[in-house]
Amino acid sequence: MEETKILIVDDDPDFTAVLKTVLEGESYVVDTAPGRAEAMEKIQADKPDLLLLDVMMATWSDGFEMARDIRKNPEYKGMPIIMLTGVEQRTGIGFKSTAGDPEWLPVDGFLDKPVEPQVLIAEVKKVLSGKP
Amino acid sequence: MEPVPEDIRLLNGAYWLTRLRWIAIICVPIGTYFCGSVLGIALREIPMYTVATLLFLYNVAVLVMLDRAARADREVSPRAVKRIIHLQICTDLILLTVLLHFSGGIENPLVFFFIFHMVIAGILLSPKESYLQATFAVLLFGLLVLLEHKQLLRHYCLTGFVPHCLQESMLYIFGTFLVFTTALYVAVYMANYIATRLKRAERAYKQANVMLEEKDRIKDEYVSRVTHDIKGHLATIQGCLAVAVDRMTGKLEDPEADLIHRAHTRSVKLTNFVRALLRLTQMRLSNKLEMADFSMGEALLNVTGAVQAKAADKSITLNCNIDSSVENVFGNQFSIEEMVTNLLLNAIKYTPANGTIDVRASSDENSVLVKISDTGIGIPKEEQAQVFDEFFRASNAKRAERDGTGLGLSIVKYIVERHGGQIQVESEEGHGTTFNLTLPRTA
């Protein structure tokens, strides 16, 4: 079976370590990037199968903007994205209760920080299986 | 109470004047009839009734003018209203002088009534304007007295009230006129003084209010920033512990595993608390909430579906009954779902096993009504008013469940109010709780 590559983009190295441990336990190949620039480099080089993107890095909207950039680029259009976000960031900025509103934020899933391991694995599996 | 803006204050003052004038319109004919026919005082009755009729007609005209000024492009112009007030006072002073002329001039104690207008001018107008009105009144009255004294104008003696015509006595005229003038200016001065002090106090109150609001906002920002930072670290701690707990399943008899398990449980509780606190302060801080039309029925089904498993864990029957009349609501669907979820999770938490929770939604012309009732422990009557207060937990709720943030219902109420809705609680201790929710269909 071909290995599934996941890229985690988050500026909190400890949190990234947690996600990495959980996902590696499920035999995924996990790479991490602490910021937008590094993430774009790794996306170009490795073409990951899934992106786990923190909503808030250098600025509160870094994650949002990055998700939109990726969707605009025809090369990565199909790459699934799961966004890590706090519930409080989801209102007031046009979020719909269900993920994947293409007009606003083209992501495939949301995870609320902190993430319980089972919830993370379930969401990753769900999004990967829904891949066209 | 919010301080009244200047334009509204003037408009209210102008209407107040018209209301006072109705009293004069009623009292002039009655007084004329009483003095003339009952007391037998020599009065020119026809001119008196004519003045009353004129007062009536002019009061109606003022009301029409005021209504027009208040309606014109919805913005009340303080200058237009002030002009109407000036017009009213001047006309009143002239009519009062005419009335005096036909009822004995300086002999008639009705001259005191000039003071009323001075007080009104002192309250509604600027000091300069009210002194001008006082001067106008002094001139009008002075002219009347002078003309009558010089017999350029006929003097109607108030026979039956005064022993003999007084307008011929120079001393009487001079004395009365002097007192009259002084009284008018002093009245204006006093009314101005009081009105200025009141306005100053009102302004100070307004400033204090703005300052308090600002302080409250700073506090919210502070809480928001602190809790946000705490939450970031907490998320990582909880994540680490969750992985450790996960890997140690089956080894819980180890004391180390037990300790880590406990730490994880507590971190989850702390996270829930911090999350609720952050949610509440951030909602208070953001003044915008994205609103759109969404199906209330669908939102309710989403939420009941999401908590169904939790209810089933306690063998609680969760019924959802949505009337076909329930249509779209204008609001933020995410917040509304969050709010109903909070109510349902509360219901599940405080309903003993094998209980029932009913969600009923119906609709009337303007609003959607949602009723969430459970067969739980209820809320004591005397504590019901406080359940929406931040950090408040009912005494029996604390006994039943040790953990709880006391913020869930505050968030619920906040979301409901942001949507222009209302929420009420009906409950009896030991006999379940019902939350009645009303949400307007349009904003």
Query: What does the DSSP assignment read for B90-128?
Result: HHHHHHHHHHHHTTTGGG-GGGGGHHHHHHHHHHHS-HH
Q: Do A97 and B337 touch (CB under 8 A)?
A: yes
Supply B442's token pair: 């349009």
Of A86, A113, A117, the CB nearest to B246: A117
List chain B residues with CB under 8 Å of A91.
283, 289-290, 332, 334-335, 338
Contact check, Cβ <8 Å, A91/B332: yes
The Cα B131–Cα B304 span in angstroms is 71
Chain A residue at shortest CA distance from B298: A97
**pLDDT per residue over B121-174, tens digit each?**
999 899 999 999 999 999 999 999 999 988 888 888 887 788 878 778 889 889
Q: How confident is the model at residue B402 (pLDDT cuts 50, 70, 90)?
A: confident
Q: Are A96 and B283 in contact (CB < 8 Å)?
A: no
Residue A94 lies inside a defined structural domain of this protein: yes
Structure confidence at residue B165 (pLDDT): 80
Question: Residues B285-313: what's their mean pLDDT?
Answer: 88
CATH code at A92?
Answer: 3.40.50.2300
Of B354 and B9, which is predicted with more confidence?
Answer: B354
Chain A: nearest CA to B431, how far in angstroms?
34
Residue that the structure tokens 């209330």 belong to: B296
What is chain B's mean pLDDT, rounded?
89
> Taking CB atoms and an 8 Å cutoff, what residues of chain B touch A93?
290
State the total domains in chain A: 1
pLDDT at B51: 92
> Cβ separation of B239 and A96 shorter than 8 Å?
no
- E-state strands within chain A: 5-9, 29-33, 50-54, 81-85, 109-112
The edge-to-edge listing of strands for the beta sheet with A109-112 is: A29-33, A5-9, A50-54, A81-85, A109-112
Closest partner CB to A88 (pick from B232, B234, B282):
B282
- Kindly indicate the confidence band of residue A59, based on its pLDDT and cuts at 50, 70 and 90: low
DSSP for residue B331:
E
Contact B236 A19 (CB under 8 A): no
- Whether residues A15 and B337 touch (CB distance < 8 A) is answered with no
Give the structural domain span for A28: 5-123
CB-defined contacts A:B, below 8 A: 71
| Model pLDDT, residue A3 | 86
- Average pLDDT on B370-391 reads 94
Q: Over 70: is that where the pLDDT of B351 sits?
A: yes
The pLDDT value recorded for residue B215 is 94
User: What does the DSSP 8-state code read for residue B284?
Assistant: H
Percent of chain B with pLDDT over 70: 97
pLDDT of B319 strictly over 90: yes
Q: Rounded to a whole number, what is the distance in Å from the CA of B306 to chain A's nearest CA?
A: 12
Residue A77 lies in a domain: yes
Per-residue confidence at B252, pLDDT binned at 50, 70, 90?
low
Band of residue A77 on the pLDDT scale cut at 50, 70, 90: confident
The stretch B250-275 carries a mean pLDDT of 84
pLDDT at A62 over 90: no
Q: What does DSSP assign to residue A12?
A: -
Interface probe with B: pick from A24, A84, A97, A103, most Cβ of B within 10 Å: A97
Joined tokens for residue B217: 């906002």
B278: nearest CA partner in chain A: A88
- Nearest-Cα distance to chain A for B271, in Å, is 8
pLDDT category at B315 given cuts 50, 70, 90 is: very high
User: Looking at the domain assignment, is residue A61 inside a domain?
Assistant: yes
The pLDDT tens digits for B169-203 are 889 889 999 999 999 999 999 999 999 999 899 89
- Is A130 part of a structural domain of the chain? no
Residue A129 lies in a domain: no
With contact defined as beta carbons under 8 Å apart, do A46 and A35 qualify?
A: no
Looking at residues B246-255, what average pLDDT do you find? Answer: 73
- The amino acid at residue B324 is S
What long-range pairs does B138-146 form, CB within 8 A, spacing at least 24?
Answer: B138/B180, B138/B181, B138/B184, B140/B93, B140/B94, B140/B97, B141/B97, B141/B100, B141/B111, B141/B114, B141/B177, B141/B180, B142/B177, B144/B97, B144/B100, B144/B101, B144/B105, B144/B106, B145/B105, B145/B106, B145/B173, B145/B177
Residue A71 lies in a domain: yes
Residues of A in contact with B275 (CB under 8 A): 86-88
Contacts of B231 in chain A (CB under 8 A): 86, 113
The residue that leads in pLDDT, A95 or A55, is A55
A39 token code pair: 């993430």
Instruction: Please choose, from the candidates B295, B296, B241, the residue with its C-alpha nearest in 3D space to the C-alpha of residue B268.
Output: B241
On the question of pLDDT at A68 being above 50, the answer is: yes
> Residue B11 — pLDDT band, cuts 50, 70, 90?
confident
pLDDT score for B1: 46
Give me the residues paired with residue B369 across strands.
Answer: B362, B438
Q: What's the mean per-residue pLDDT of chain A?
A: 79
Please tell me which residue of chain B has the smallest CA distance to A16. Answer: B236
Q: Is A94 left (phi over 0), alpha (psi -120 to 50) or beta?
A: left
Helices B127-149, B114-124: axis angle to 10 degrees equals: 160
Q: Which pLDDT does position A104 carry in this prediction?
A: 55
Q: Which of B26, B54, B45 is nearest to B156 (CA)?
A: B45
Confidence of residue B339 (pLDDT cuts 50, 70, 90): very high
Least Cα distance to A120 among A45, A46, A3, A16 occurs for A16
Residue B2 has pLDDT above 60, yes or no: no
Dist CA B236 CA A16 (whole Å):
9
